[in-house]
Amino acid sequence: MTTKQLSVVGKSFQRIESKAKVTGSAQYVDDMQFGPNLLFGKLKRSPIPHGLIKRIDTSKAEALPGVRVVVTGQDFPGLTGLYLSDRPTFAVDRVRFVGEAVAGVAAETRELAERAVELIEVEYEPLPGVFDPEFGASPEAPLVHPDLMDYECAPFIFRQEGTNISNWFKVRKGDMEAGWEEADIIYEHAYKVPQVQHVPLETHATVAQMDGNGKITLWSSSQSPFAQRNLIAKSLGISHSKLRVITPYVGGGFGSKAGVSMEGACVIMAMLAKGRPVKLVMTREEEFYTTFVRQGLTAHIKMGMTQDGRITAMQNTYYWDAGAYTEYGVNITRAAGYSSTGPYFVPNVHADSYCVYTNHPIGGAMRGFGMPEIHWATEQHIDRMATQLGLDPVDVRLLNCLKDGQETVTGMIMHPTGLSQCIAQAAEALDWGKASKPSAPHKRRGKGIAAMWKAPAMPPNPGSSATIRFNEDGTCLVNVGGVDIGQGALTVASQIAAEGLGIPFEDVRVNTVDTDYSPYEWQTVASRITWSMGNAVLRAATEAKEQIIDMVAEVWDENPEDLDIIDGHVVSFASEESIPVKNIVVYGMQKPDGTWIGGPVVGKGRFMPDYVTPLDAETGQGPRAVVHFTTGAQAVEVEVDEETGHVKVLKIVSAFDVGKAINPDLVRTQMEGGAVQGLSTALLERLVLEEGQPKNPNFTDYRIATAVDAPPEMVNIIVEVPQDDGPFGARGVGEHPMVPTAPAIANAVRNALGIEIDAMPITSEKVWAALKAKNG
């Protein structure tokens, strides 16, 4: 490098360091990793919810000095999608939601990229929009995707030709007429759930770079590095070997960073940037409505119940507001269908779950994957019917909740579950049935409870793999493809590896993900990592341990069954000899005759469930719909101010059957975090959309719960009924604590005031208005 080049580089680093000092922002410091060649990306977005693209003129942007890349959908028209390939990276011929990317720019500075985006001229022909899922499912609605039947999709997704319904999951079980006839009361009602944002602390952020051999590296804040590689490579028509995804620690995801959001756009710009890295980071406003949101839902529930509280029949119709692209939403709809009764035995079921295209932001995975939404309806419905019959809501749940060996809604036989224990223990810890004195005369207290279930929502064949190798000092390296998004996945992996090997936990290190070097993992979603990846890690540890023991047994001329590894030492129960693992796991052992055996120990493990069966398209019935269900319950006490309508949650008791708590502290923190996030969506959160336009994409107008809103008391109860196919009996619990919180709070508010709130969130205004209406 010449003196002049060194001077330029030095000045560039000084510029970056100066910006970091002025702004105090870590993002400028991060830019230093990629040096002065880093380009900054920005996306041109649609201002309208639905329309045809008549013309795009990028000439002014291309002429702007410092602009290096300008790209549109015409340049890369390929589609992507996890379960349904319906989504372009950049809109090609039409836009379908406000904020959809129509072009991308990479420039020398952020300011230049923003200016270039403003210079791109786009002419639209507005089209009628769809902003309600029930209307969207009707024959009168304009089609959002006229080419729906041309898209590639998974075989368990059932599109409806000539409609906006991208998936229709049905359940037809039992005899509905007999079920209604047997019931003493029948109650029918509708409930609504709005779109909400995940609001991770770290917004979506990526850097991509293509080297001289055409190999692209994508640094991505992602829950799905292998899925991202797969989906982006397929959409661009490139070999998977040409795309490498590196995922460091992720600053929160909650499902928003599953699959592909804006990462493909960054890869495309890097492909055109002549070897220079391109960075694309979503602003907080962009994060609110241009990445995934939780889908909206309109739920119609009809239920029959006998005088003693037994459920005889249930008819549920779910209209999912899945947004402009439903590549992920179609599976949420499916999960809602095969979970539609909640965790209860119901002999007669008629359920329809519709995934409906609208001109709203894209619905995707969010913590709970459809379960918080449907439980908002079913758990309130059960409480209201119990009140109509004069029954205790806890008793009604204990009577109807699924027990070992009973049939689920899809005909699957329920595995051993601690659901009854969860309901009973949560109620007991809340002093169920005992009234509490309010803190002031104008305040009222109430208690509510809700049960839940959730299965890992995934294809029948999602795989996990792991490898284990040793360093010369006996410390262990575990390679996995799962991502730590704050839930403690790497901690759990190290615990399972240490336990499986028989070495100290402190001697285990788990690497973050690099798809070129890490073993395959489907995705870090569905609360499946402890269970699925944990199984792979345990199998890798078992294989490595067998290699070590077989080697020692041969040298010592002992039976391998007499050997074990305890606290990092191979010990013999027969001869009482021992040897440190660190002495032999790399260099092997010398035999009495002077020769050597062994060598570097490497353990490999893989896991994929091979027992999930298809479900009948017309009835939703089949022997094994899912791998398992995690079940649980929450009991809540609230205090409501009658003068203002303000709801204060005083106490949340969470009880969940986790099979086996690998790390009890992490389990409890998941319970607490999920409960507070559930509280936040119950009382505060709603993405306001008017004719497709987002009205509150900021933390001023979109409130989330803080420490001030968290309940003063939280009790977490771990129930352990082992899962037969889980590592040490474990099953996941990451999403589940968010599922029952909102209906439990709604039930507590109704218990306190006798009012019913059908639509989230339970705001002070709604409570106040309901009280006024009740009082005439």
pLDDT digits 0-9 by tens, 290-315: 999 999 999 999 999 999 999 999 99
φ/ψ (deg, to 5) at 224: -140, 60
pLDDT digits 0-9 by tens, 568-587: 999 999 999 999 999 999 99
The average pLDDT across 472-481 equals 97
* pLDDT surpassing 70 at residue 31: no
H helices of 159-262, in order, are 176-182, 225-236
Q: What band does 15 get if pLDDT is binned at 50, 70 and 90?
A: very low
Residue type, 579: I
Closest by Cα among 82, 66, 180 to 114: 66
* pLDDT surpassing 50 at residue 91: yes
Residue type, 659: G
Give the per-residue pLDDT at 533: 98
- Please say whether the beta carbons of 259 and 364 come within 8 A: yes
Q: What band does 24 get if pLDDT is binned at 50, 70 and 90?
A: very low
Give the per-residue pLDDT at 23: 33
The average pLDDT across 240-247 equals 98
φ/ψ (deg, to 5) at 500: -65, -35
The CA distance from 168 to 356, in Å, is 9
The SS3 of residue 265 is helix
The token duo for 597 is: 């055996």
CA diameter of the chain: 98
DSSP string, 446-469: EEEEEEEEE-----S---EEEEEE
The token duo for 295 is: 């889908």
Closest by Cα among 136, 153, 145 to 96: 145
What is the sign of the dihedral through the CA atoms of 46, 48, 53 and 56?
Answer: negative
The conformation of residue 84, written as its DSSP 8-state character, comes to: B
The CA distance from 453 to 369, in Å, is 12
- Please say whether the beta carbons of 607 and 426 come within 8 A: no
DSSP string, 694-730: ES--STTTS----TTTS-SEEEEEEE----TTSGGG-
pLDDT digits 0-9 by tens, 179-193: 999 999 999 999 999
The average pLDDT across 96-117 equals 98
Residue type, 235: S
Q: The tokens 């055996």 sit on which residue?
A: 597
Percent of the chain with pLDDT over 70: 96
- Output the average pLDDT for the chain: 95
Structural domains for the chain: 18-25+462-607 (3.30.365.10), 33-127+225-239+257-280 (3.90.1170.50), 293-458+613-775 (3.30.365.10)
pLDDT digits 0-9 by tens, 684-723: 999 999 999 999 999 999 999 999 999 999 999 999 999 9
pLDDT digits 0-9 by tens, 669-687: 999 999 999 999 999 999 9
What is the sign of the dihedral through the CA atoms of 689, 695, 697 and 698?
Answer: negative
Give the per-residue pLDDT at 776: 83
Cis peptide before 761 (omega within 30 of 0): yes
The SS3 of residue 323 is strand
Residue type, 764: S
Closest by Cα among 211, 200, 202 to 270: 211
Give the per-residue pLDDT at 726: 98
The CA distance from 419 to 400, in Å, is 11
The average pLDDT across 92-106 equals 98
* pLDDT surpassing 90 at residue 16: no
Closest by Cα among 608, 611, 615 to 408: 615
Give the per-residue pLDDT at 33: 80
The average pLDDT across 139-147 equals 98
CB contact set of 166 (below 8 Å; sequence gap of 6+): 84, 86, 145, 148, 157, 159, 160, 322, 326, 329, 330, 355, 356, 357
